[in-house]
Amino acid sequence: MQYRCAKFIATRYLQSAGERNVMRTRMIELREFKNEDEELLVSYLNVESVTKFISAKLPQPYTKEAAKWWVDTGSKIGIVKAITKNGELIGSISAMTGEFERQKSAEIGYWLAQPFWGARFCFASSS
């Protein structure tokens, strides 16, 4: 199942009609990060309850410079998408493909801004 989700995330963007690298559902949209997301990234990623289980590589405090690097460089590495609702950033989802005997699987990671917890947005993002 993990492989199918990762493969879906990887290929669905290329199949989207109209806009390249965008997937829409009734609840959310998955798209590339944009410069306009930087302010919300700084706001969301300075909340301990949001970042508690995210990689230790995430700088704290999370600065405007870190957000700019993420939008311009970090989010371009691998399969990484912004989760948006009504055009506004609410989180992020990524899939890291496995290596060697795990090459047909992927680990899905995500974070969601606290005001959007409990609304099944992450479930919709990975489905």
Quick one: tokens of 94? 């990524």
Q: Are 82 and 9 in contact (CB under 8 A)?
A: no
Please give the residue that has the higher pLDDT: either 61 or 22: 61
Q: Torsion angle of alpha carbons 24, 36, 126, 75, nearest 10°?
A: 130
The stretch 47-58 carries a mean pLDDT of 90
- How many other C-beta atoms can be found within 10 angstroms of the C-beta atom of residue 120? 12
pLDDT higher than threshold 60 for residue 16: no
Question: Sorting pLDDT into bands at 50, 70 and 90, what band is 14?
Answer: very low
Residue at token pair 């959310």:
28
Amino acid 17 reads A
The structural domains of the chain, ordered by start, are: 2-126 (3.40.630.30)
> Which residues on neighbouring strands pair with residue 73, listed in sequence order?
none
Model pTM score: 0.75
pLDDT higher than threshold 70 for residue 15: no
